[in-house]
Amino acid sequence: MNMYYSTELKKKLCENICIRNASTIKTAEEYNIPLKTLEKWITAFNKDSHCFDPKVEIVDDFKIINNQIPNEDYDDLSNAELKTILMKKDIEIARLKKGYMVKEGGMGEKVFTTFSKKNTK
């Protein structure tokens, strides 16, 4: 039967055993955790002491060059303006599919920045 243990508990127990030299067997019995499971946690903790830290999500901060207002009322626009907006959106979608984003550079020029699939997952 698979049990779920919180990362806070895992970190606390590993710190008690690795840093404060608590007994592994006594800790496993006290918290009713299989010894082998506790040993796996300790091995992971010894390899990386931050493995049980809370995960921080990193968000890319980039500025999209489209200067349109998101809640724009499309009813008041002419066909030519609608086609222009649609074309810009199609270009942006094609760029995203190819794997690069256009950012505004220092002097207002366009800068193409590629990002790997590793960074977008």
The pair of three-digit structure tokens given for residue 104, joined into one six-digit string: 């505004």
Average pLDDT for residues 66-79, to the nearest whole number? 70
Please tell me the total count of domains within the chain: 2
Share of the chain above pLDDT 70, in %: 67
Establish if 42 belongs to a structural domain: yes
Establish if 30 belongs to a structural domain: yes
pLDDT number for residue 56 = 66
pLDDT in tens, 43-65: 999 998 888 887 766 666 555 55
Range of the structural domain that residue 25 is part of: 7-47
Cβ neighbours, 10 Å, residue 69: 7
Establish if 111 belongs to a structural domain: yes
Establish if 95 belongs to a structural domain: yes
pLDDT score of 119 more than 60: no
pLDDT in tens, 2-34: 788 999 999 999 999 999 999 999 999 999 999
Establish if 92 belongs to a structural domain: yes
Separation CA 118–CA 121 (nearest Å): 6
Residues 43 and 78 both lie in one domain: no
Nearest one of 65, 59, 67, 57 to 101, comparing CA atoms? 65
The alpha helices in 19-121, defined as continuous H runs, are 24-31, 35-47, 79-98, 117-120
